[in-house]
Structure 1
């Protein structure tokens, strides 16, 4: 049960959505954009989230786009994880989406909602965007902005008040690149990750992004240099990554710091072997 009253709106355009947000803010109300709603519903029922106004953006045409535009793949923010995975438009993104939650939940969870999550630290859908030179289109009180994904996502999504994500753009050139996605959980495959690593071959180096290891998802080019150095043996490269990991490794109920490092070591070795980078 959601134990608070709220005003519900379903705008037809991003500008209408932002106008509703600004009206609520001007009245001292707390407004939330709503797409899949899994996070809002879950935490509202737990008494850990509340809002005076809910603005439903899931049917905005711009947010429902999933296709190819010239040399770019376009993914609307309100596209669900299952829609993305089932489309097979970009297997790198599809496999990442399929590894999040169960199929029933993925019918509701949206790409933009997962990337922009404020309550769950994993944000696993951010990983492929971090690796693929992606751009994100935002709409806010000052209109539309198209920016590199890494300009607005640093550990978490950083938006201006009233802004919402409408679309993501990914260069099609990355579709042909070899990749490996591995997610390790404590027990069943449908769980929060102890370690998720997404690796993408890019010429003479491997790009890597991580979730579950630290309190936020990230990419680190220094680690990529270490792991891509074929002049050193596999075990030495992996050891260097673990020793020079740039952020504090989580220690919680899902797994201790030492256990996560052990799982990360095995995961990196498995990825490099699968990609043919073991030697």
Structure 2
């Protein structure tokens, strides 16, 4: 249950959803879009989140799409992590989804909700979108816009007031690429990550995205260059990545900075070996 009083609406179209948001804002009310609701429910119970209006978008047809359109895979923002993983439409995305939370929670957590989270820094579903030249379709007061994912995701999703995510588009050409997804946790596999690394082979280089190491998920092409340099031994490449890591490494209850770096080192070595890039 959501632990505060609110006005509830269930629009039939994105334009109707945005109109409801704008009406609430014009009345000085705080409105939230709702799909899976896990974040709203969790943080409202802790007294850390409240709203005057809840706009339920989980049944919008555009947000429920999961399929292939020509040369692109289309994933609706309200598709749950289990729906995505069970579809096997793109194993790279499915494995990422399966590693988040437990199966019961994944029945509620949506792709758009995880990517767009404002409260949880991990946003692990952003990693495959960062690697696969993805696009995201947004709908807001000025209508729809389709943009490269990396244009609106810089450590977190940057939306205009009233905007909502409707769909993601991924080139089908990436489905055949070799990939490795490794998530390291302190204890149970459903814990928040100490380190999550997603690596994707792209011709003569490896693309990589990270979560759990820093206070946000990210991709860094300089680190990819270091990892992809087969002229240098595995241990040297990994050492360079650790030494030249571009952001502050987390130091918290999940793990110290030094411990995270140690786990990251082992994870990167394992990735290179699994992908056949160790030599």
TM-score, scaled to structure 2: 0.99
1:4, CA displacement in angstroms?
Answer: 2.3
- Superposed CA RMSD: 0.5
Partner of 1:212: 212
1:117-159 C-alpha deviation (Å, 9 max, x unpaired): 0000000000000000000000000000000000000000000
2:259 and 2:130 map into 1 onto residues whose CA distance is 26
1:50 and 1:37 map into 2 onto residues whose CA distance is 13
1:89-125 C-alpha deviation (Å, 9 max, x unpaired): 0000000000000000000000000000000000000
1:271 and 1:3 map into 2 onto residues whose CA distance is 43
**8 A contact 2:130–2:149 mirrored in 1:** yes
1:5, CA displacement in angstroms?
Answer: 1.1
1:231-257 C-alpha deviation (Å, 9 max, x unpaired): 000000000000000000000000000
Unaligned stretches of 5+ residues in structure 2: none
Q: How many residues matched?
A: 279
> For 1:39, what is the secondary structure of its paired residue?
helix
2:208 and 2:73 map into 1 onto residues whose CA distance is 21
1:224 and 1:41 map into 2 onto residues whose CA distance is 38
1:271, CA displacement in angstroms?
Answer: 0.4
Unaligned stretches of 5+ residues in structure 1: none
1:147 and 1:20 map into 2 onto residues whose CA distance is 24
Partner of 1:228: 228
**8 A contact 2:3–2:41 mirrored in 1:** no
2:83 and 2:192 map into 1 onto residues whose CA distance is 21
2:233 and 2:176 map into 1 onto residues whose CA distance is 27
Q: Which runs of 4+ in 1 moved over 6 A?
A: none
TM-score, scaled to structure 1: 0.99
**8 A contact 2:72–2:172 mirrored in 1:** yes
2:158 and 2:170 map into 1 onto residues whose CA distance is 19
1:2, CA displacement in angstroms?
Answer: 4.2
1:3, CA displacement in angstroms?
Answer: 4.0
1:150 and 1:82 map into 2 onto residues whose CA distance is 25
